[in-house]
């Protein structure tokens, strides 16, 4: 299967390492032979129609900071040109999430769909701003659009609600969808001030380059948009979310909650309204997970409330969700 990979950061590099380390097994077990024919980052690209050497690609990126130096000619083909001119079955979009105009991911995804490529995105920006129209574009162009890694990283939250609960009517859901704010709130509950907890999270590499995406609830809101569209069939985008973050939560608020055997968590919920905001959660509620964990509770008409818990991020975890999507695409192509 020929693949074009947009972005070669933490997730992109984890993915090619996964392909490289499991190539024999992927072929023997699933008949999947991923052939990465093009990769680009913000500085340039690497192309080989017969398949790039994945080990070399990672080494080049490590040494030069860009995949451009993969070949002596230093390829500077733009991402859009690559998507228009290099033949591939699947685009994997892993550039940074941007909630202002969703670029460059939006152009990558729409160009690929219009060129009849299936798309896997872990980039939440385009989905947060244009989920309904992207789904329509995929249907119109008869391509598959997969995005398992956008919510929960490697934890299959979307698949669980869509497939394991199929036939059920999910009436509402609520969850902790951002590991960074959960880590900060957990540390504040152990006595750190907001500033100390934020610094610790930054030192550990948990905070987005633009900290506002975590702290002001935008990342959680983007995931709520994806869930609301995909699971509840709503047609909503980011401006439809009533969103507030954790900046105003004080150690005093957390102490008050603790006296009631509760913790304050940043909760994204879909009931009558779509809301992201800090909320008191009883300590014995399965949703009340600590550290960087994510958790989401789905309430359905007949099977009650079920909570799924797992790591919400991480390069390898997110790469494994891309692999799941790729296997789905491979199976659907084989079925056709
Ligand atoms: N990391 C996680 O745990 C995780 C989990 C779930 C979802 N995600 C999402 O997955 C995506 C990738 O995350 P990441 O952690 O891998 O981010 P990252 O390390 O910052 O990598 C982003 C990549 O995008 C490239 N890029 C940025 N602007 C570009 C442009 N205009 N044209 C081409 N490439 C461009 C960057 O190029 P340079 O290398 O040249 O800077 C980099 O290779 C994000 O949308 C993120 O929200 C991440």
Q: Which domains does the chain have, with CATH numbers?
A: 2-153+315-335 (3.40.50.720), 157-311 (3.30.360.10)
Catalytic residue among 223, 256, 260, 279: 223
Give the binding-site residues of ligand 1, using a 6 Å CB cut-off: 7-12, 40-43, 66, 79, 94-97, 104, 122-124, 149, 153, 313-315, 318
DSSP string, 148-213: GGGTTTTS-HHHIIIIITTTS-EEEEEEE--HHHHHHHHHHHTT--HHHHHHHHHHTT-S-SSTHH
What's the pLDDT at 12? 97
What's the pLDDT at 75? 75
* Placement of tokens 């392909």 in the chain: 19
| C-alpha closest to that of 237 among 226, 252, 251 | 226
Mutate to test the pocket of ligand 1, among 4, 40, 42, 208 (most ligand atoms within 8 A of CB): 42
Mean pLDDT, consecutive 10-residue stretches, the chain (336 aa), reads 97 97 94 96 95 97 96 84 95 96 97 97 98 98 97 93 90 97 97 96 93 97 98 96 97 97 98 97 98 97 95 93 96 88
Q: What's the 223 CA to ligand 1 centre distance in angstroms? A: 17
pTM (two decimals): 0.96
* Placement of tokens 């902790």 in the chain: 176
Which residue's alpha carbon is nearest to atom 21 within ligand 1? 9
Residue 273: exposed, middle, or buried by beta-carbon count in 10 A (0-12, 13-18, 19+)?
exposed
Contact 181, 292 (CB under 8 A): no
Does the annotation mark 223 as catalytic? yes
């Amino acid at each position: 299967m020929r693949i074009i990979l947009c972005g070669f950061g933490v997730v992109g590099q984890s993915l090619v390492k996964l392909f490289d380390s499991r190539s024999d097994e992927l072929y023997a077990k699933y008949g999947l032979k991923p052939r990465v024919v093009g990769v680009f980052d913000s500085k340039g690209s690497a192309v080989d129609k017969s398949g790039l050497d994945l080990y070399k690609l990672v080494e080049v990126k490590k040494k030069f900071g860009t995949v451009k130096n993969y070949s002596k000619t230093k390829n500077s083909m733009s991402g859009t040109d690559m998507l228009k001119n290099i033949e591939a079955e699947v685009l994997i979009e892993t550039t940074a999430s941007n909630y202002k105009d969703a670029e460059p991911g939006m152009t990558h995804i729409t160009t690929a769909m219009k060129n009849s490529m299936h798309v896997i995105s872990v980039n939440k920006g385009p989905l947060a701003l244009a989920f309904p129209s992207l789904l329509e574009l995929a249907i119109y162009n008869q391509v598959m659009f997969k995005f398992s890694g956008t919510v929960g990283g490697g934890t299959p939250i979307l698949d669980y609600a869509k497939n394991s609960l199929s036939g059920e009517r999910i009436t509402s859901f609520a969850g902790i969808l951002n590991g960074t704010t959960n880590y900060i709130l957990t540390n504040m509950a152990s006595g750190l001030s907001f500033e100390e907890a934020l610094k610790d999270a930054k030192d550990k590499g948990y905070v987005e380059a633009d900290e506002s995406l975590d702290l002001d609830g935008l990342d959680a809101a983007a995931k709520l948009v994806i869930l609301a569209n995909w699971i509840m069939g709503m047609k909503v985008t980011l401006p439809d979310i009533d969103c507030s973050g954790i900046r105003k939560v004080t150690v005093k608020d957390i102490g008050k909650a603790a006296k009631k055997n509760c913790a304050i968590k940043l909760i994204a919920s879909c009931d009558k309204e779509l809301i992201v905001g800090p909320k008191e959660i009883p300590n014995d509620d399965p949703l009340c997970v600590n550290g960087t964990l994510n958790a989401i509770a789905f309430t359905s008409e007949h099977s009650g409330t079920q909570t799924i818990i797992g790591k919400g991020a991480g390069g390898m975890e997110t790469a494994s969700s891309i692999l799941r999507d790729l296997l789905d695409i491979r199976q659907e192509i084989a079925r056709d």
